[in-house]
A and B are shown apart, each in its own frame.
Chain A
């Protein structure tokens, strides 16, 4: 008996400790949650929010390299100059929008089509999925250097192939007309990330919907058009949004392929190159900050518009229930 009571005490004690701990945990769950997100939050404040606010402030100053103390406040002068006197603002924005206009839809379509194929139940599919995803883990700089050789007019694989089949070689990186299409072509390289998201979305579509469609005599085309596409719209929306935001900020590929001047006739001068040149070539950091604030506003407004219009074309699955 004595032995039993001796044994029972620690059990009770354990139980009490556990209960107390659980109670404490429950009472302080919000605090604990905040503690877990604190590292990210601190990183966000230090590395994103504060630099953003400081950048916003700098955009209203004539901050030059080496300006000690408080940079001279010049109000909207930088913005006025950008919109009235900066020829390269319009040019770089046009080049960026041109790139976006083609690369974002093309990449979406390409990633979606590949995801559809990789969603088929065939043998060895895991291997194919890995193979298609591998390019996405190749560092962008390395991929771009490979592409530079690939697109070389005289010795590049692409032109050698074109000549082999009797077609005329293309001056991919030297002709002003071909630079943007070359960049768009290069953008397809990193489709793997979007593809994986599409693939996850496709696998989330309930099988019984396809079965029901098959029973009703729906063809493969019907299934794609009336089941797959509507149910994939949230994923398409997500990829579209990320694609647009990333596309506006295209920089490294162009920097490596054609240099900071943007290539012949500056046909490849994208917006971020212009921002970079103003900061690090001309040392006009205030002006450069203003350029980046404008880019932020464009992306922000576009995102809001997309989110707003998404109610009309993105199907989240619960809307029908609400209507009924």
Chain B
């Protein structure tokens, strides 16, 4: 069903306001608490967040939320200095590794007591989503948006498939089909790749995502033993290298092809019919709609599919991962240094974002992306704003949570560097995985030894 951008916007607004127009602010009969909200919901999302805050303040007149949208550049620096300062913001939007890091250093408080006091129903969340926000058995934040849907979904350009002689309604299901189609679509010239079929980037997060589509695992469920240098891991890396070297003529072509582009901006090759298969996260739909509204409206020109699996492995299936990627698993965490009344206000706001229909639910609906609250995603209006909603839900259902630790940043760098060395021919795939595994496991063992010593 084709909908004009205007109709979609109108639908989004109807959804936003259907749950009740922002009522006039009630009077606060006590002291108003000002809550600084440090977040990264910039660009088109800022207005949506302001609406969400408006709804919250209408219900909680004694809390004034100050929407402090931060620039993406220098994010780590801003976050670390804010969290460690003696006067941090009232509530902080952080990724899972950061949440763990803050938790382990006592910078933020667990919210279990608030959950109990407010009788917050955590069962509304997908298990895989709320589960990612626990560290050492304590809950540190409520999730929004989903960590899932980050790696299991792909979007594809039907026109490019059609032009190459493939049925655009029959996207590839296996690695082998993907490789065949990508080879037929890719066009290269003296300057590099002009039209790209598919890419498998030489990064750790890309490797881990493909690993799960070959029935492999990154780590054990307790997060203590790394498992990626398995036969499945090796097969995955070798296939990624084959695709890169045989179809895309080397990793440098891929780096060049995506130089200075981002799908959050309008200059991404997908918007220009220059890329057939794109790995996305669920924020893509909103960005696509904003950056290329005509393209988004023309659902005959693009489709959504699940990440292909290894057709040669009988145990493999389409899959995605949640919580591995650095930019996934966002939550809203409460600094430890604030007085109880401020923390209480922060929790009320975090709860509103997390579970209230006018909170994350409406906020994410307006971006055509799923919510970590299952019930929100069952809204039939989603099919009007996102024609491939059923595939998105299917993708979410296939996601596997990956356990990580506060040293994930360092582990990720080691794995990424070794994979890059394999991509640049410095190491064989087997050596890259084994070397990475040895170094990473040593670091992980060191972390757990220290952790266990402190918590015994």
Q: Do A and B come from one complex?
A: yes
CB distance from A79 to the nearest CB of B (A): 18
Q: At the interface, is chain A mostly helix, strand, loop or mixed?
A: loop
User: Which residues between 101 and 126 of chain B lie within 8 Å of chain A, taking CB atoms?
Assistant: 101-102, 105-107
| A65 and B76 contacting across the interface, CB-CB below 8 Å | no
Which residue of the partner chain, among A153, A264, A266, contacts B192 with CB atoms under 8 Å?
A153
| A159 and B191 contacting across the interface, CB-CB below 8 Å | yes
Which residue of the partner chain, among B252, B407, B420, contacts A171 with CB atoms under 8 Å?
B252
Residues of chain B with a CB closer than 8 A to A283's CB: 80, 101, 105
| A281 and B409 contacting across the interface, CB-CB below 8 Å | yes
Residues of chain A with a CB closer than 8 A to B417's CB: 265-266
CB distance from B335 to the nearest CB of A (A): 10
| B191 and chain A: residue at smallest CB distance | A154
A279 at the interface (CB under 8 A from B): yes
Residues of chain B with a CB closer than 8 A to A66's CB: 83-84, 102, 105-107
| A148 and chain B: residue at smallest CB distance | B260
Residue-wise interface mask of B (74-105) relative to A, using a CB-CB cutoff of 8 A (1 in contact, 0 not): 00110010011000000000000000011001
B36 at the interface (CB under 8 A from A): no
Residues of chain A with a CB closer than 8 A to B289's CB: none
User: Which residues between 375 and 411 of chain B lie within 8 Å of chain A, taking CB atoms?
Assistant: 407, 409-410
User: Which stretch from A100-108, A173-181, A307-315 is at the chain B interface?
Assistant: A173-181
A282 at the interface (CB under 8 A from B): yes
B136 at the interface (CB under 8 A from A): no
Residues of chain B with a CB closer than 8 A to A282's CB: 407, 409-410
- With A65-B101, A280-B76 given, is the CB distance from A265 to B426 under 8 Å? yes
| B101 and chain A: residue at smallest CB distance | A283
| CA of A149 to CA of B257, assembled, Å | 13
A163 at the interface (CB under 8 A from B): yes
B256 at the interface (CB under 8 A from A): yes
| B426 and chain A: residue at smallest CB distance | A265
| CA of A171 to CA of B252, assembled, Å | 8
Which residue of the partner chain, among B259, B409, B424, contacts A153 with CB atoms under 8 Å?
B259
| B413 and A152 contacting across the interface, CB-CB below 8 Å | no
| A152 and B260 contacting across the interface, CB-CB below 8 Å | yes
| CA of A154 to CA of B350, assembled, Å | 45
Residues of chain B with a CB closer than 8 A to A171's CB: 252, 255-256
Residue-wise interface mask of B (412-435) relative to A, using a CB-CB cutoff of 8 A (1 in contact, 0 not): 010011001100101000000000
B456 at the interface (CB under 8 A from A): no
Residues of chain B with a CB closer than 8 A to A265's CB: 417, 420-421, 424, 426
CB distance from A78 to the nearest CB of B (A): 15
Residues of chain B with a CB closer than 8 A to A119's CB: none
Which residue of the partner chain, among B80, B191, B410, contacts A163 with CB atoms under 8 Å?
B191
- With A163-B190, A266-B417 given, is the CB distance from A154 to B256 under 8 Å? yes
Complex A-B: 29 CB contacts under 8 Å: A65-B84, A65-B105, A65-B107, A66-B83, A66-B84, A66-B102, A66-B105, A68-B106, A152-B259, A152-B260, A153-B191, A153-B192, A154-B191, A154-B192, A163-B190, A163-B191, A169-B191, A171-B252, A171-B256, A174-B255, A261-B413, A264-B424, A265-B417, A276-B77, A279-B80, A280-B77, A281-B76, A281-B409, A281-B413
Please list the residues of chain B having a beta carbon within 8 angstroms of any beta carbon in chain A.
76-77, 80, 83-84, 101-102, 105-107, 190-192, 251-252, 255-257, 259-260, 407, 409-410, 413, 416-417, 420-421, 424, 426
Q: A148-B260, A277-B413, A283-B105 are in contact. List 5 more A-B contacts (CB 8 A).
A: A66-B102, A149-B260, A169-B190, A265-B424, A281-B409
